Amino acid sequence: MNVGDWTTNRADLDPENIFVVCDDGREITNLEFNRRVNRLANALPSLGVTRGERVAALFPNNAEFLELLFATGKIGAIMVPLNFRLAPAELAFILDDSGTKALFYSYDFAFQAGELKELAKGVNTYVKVGEGNEGDTDYGELVSGSPDTEPVVEPEVTLDDPHFIMYTSGTTGRPKGAVLTHGNTQWNGVNAVLTYNLSAEDTNLVAAPLFHIGALSAAATPTIYTGGKLVLTRYFVPDQVLEAIEKYRVTTMFGIPVMFLLMSMSERFDATDFSSIRIMISGGAPCPVPLIEKYLEHDVVFSQGYGLTETAPAVSALPTEDALSKRGSAGKRLFHVQIAIFDDEDKELPAGETGEIVVRGPNIFKEYWNMPEETAAALRNGWFHTGDMGRIDEEGYLWILDRKKDMIISGGENIYPAEVEDVIMGHPKVADVGVVGMRDQKWGEAPLALVVLMPGEEMGEEELMTWTRGKLAGYKTPKQVVFVDELPRTPTGKILKKELRAKYVEGGDRSIVERDGLGG
């Protein structure tokens, strides 16, 4: 048994059901999709891609991405999804680090593929979907002469085998390749079905990029596992997403908070018919409470979940019945997952106390690719140490506070930037905010708020300070405010705090902050 068998089973059980709808108009049934996967699986060995070999995908959200995912699964090869927003040099690092031999790319990224021929010396085969670079193998020609029968692989590929390597965003250093097994994906699918009551009646809109663990494993693969329909949007465009929700009667969608924020700012938002939506799932970063409440005003049940690349990804989810009473919480642990809160000595803390979130279960990744020391540091005593700070309340609900490294210590008091950010996001003029620690002669550190205003709005520092007073303890109130045009983010929506610190804190002083726009 392996994840590649999923498409075989769907073709046997529900051959005529629609598997995927692409925004180029293609609708592919379960039967046809499995045939396409088999043709590719049988063709891959001709490129030198066999069991254990790595093959990379530089794709937008398209059917070919999923074909490669399941074709590699069937033959035991290992897929490496690539973040198409990275520069060629960054992509080359991932290709070299993973030892990838073959790169599949779409016409959108022909330029990057051409650059990689000079930078990624280990890649010896390039396969293009659509127009691409001269001399590269054409995807259609590759699979056209290949049989659509099930590939024969000995020994059998099992749930313990690696399926794909997903590189982390690298917010704390060079990217690490998290090795996810077939079993990780399988158990994540089981958890998702139990948590969100997924069924063959669901239509899932995949608008976040599939190279992101949330889009791939919190949205696409659980829907495939249950026999539901996928609707792929090639890229995230807020108006197109809102249109697709209505057109295809979408029932579920995963997104990161910034995606939902941009959708809510669209002129189409208030007029959109959301009546088909059962649940919106938010992950990738803490979701501001005001944004959750804005969707609830439109009768959209907005569930915040918590997960990581290394946990395949789901760890916890907020039950729909608690969307209001526990808004802001990351919910309860999933059925086949255990979570705990540890102190700095790896001792479990009681309910209500803050510490590092640790996780264990069959969804935990196998290892960091070629990084044994980092693997050993993260996987200790049977638990995966997330590096995130949080607490579990008396009722078992998880509350995410922040990254351990982002915590601000002011006069001996711990300040979690996410808590301050939530309060600031509640101001109607604020579109986005990031809070970092700045040096303070008296207290050691103090909060610095970088604020993006809504279009057309104006606000001074004192107005924002007044808003936070009474909502936050005095030591949590930002010491300074800088109004900026935008915040740097990873492709998964996390604010790049290290870039904010580098620009506004490290090597600087108050005069540098003032020159960047203190107070508006």
Per-residue pLDDT tens over the stretch 223-233 = 999 999 999 99
**DSSP secondary structure code for residue 347 in this structure:** P
Domain 1-14+26-158 has CATH 3.40.50.2300: no
What Å distances lie between residue 505 and 330, 364, 421, 495, 500, CA to CA? 30, 36, 18, 16, 7
The pLDDT of residue 512 is above 60: no
**Domain range annotation of the chain:** 1-14+26-158, 407-515
Confidence of residue 187 (pLDDT cuts 50, 70, 90): very high
Confidence of residue 169 (pLDDT cuts 50, 70, 90): low
Give the domain 407-515 fold. Answer: GMP Synthetase; Chain A, domain 3 (3.30.300)
Instruction: Give me the chain's average pLDDT, please.
Output: 91
The answer to whether the predicted template modeling score (pTM) of the entire model surpasses 0.75 is yes
Confidence of residue 175 (pLDDT cuts 50, 70, 90): confident
Beta bridge partners of 205: 231, 253
Query: What is the C-alpha separation between 138 and 136, in angstroms, rounded?
Result: 6
What's residue 172's pLDDT? 47
Q: What are the structure tokens assigned to 415, written together?
A: 């300040």
Which has the higher per-residue pLDDT, 302 or 188? 188
Beta bridge partners of 413: 410
Confidence of residue 320 (pLDDT cuts 50, 70, 90): confident
Which has the higher per-residue pLDDT, 258 or 191? 191
What's residue 491's pLDDT? 67
What's residue 252's pLDDT? 97
What's residue 286's pLDDT? 61
Closest by CA to 168, choosing from 307, 309, 282, is 309
Closest by CA to 21, choosing from 222, 234, 168, 185, is 234
Per-residue pLDDT tens over the stretch 345-385 = 999 999 999 999 999 999 999 999 999 999 999 999 999 99
Confidence of residue 516 (pLDDT cuts 50, 70, 90): very low
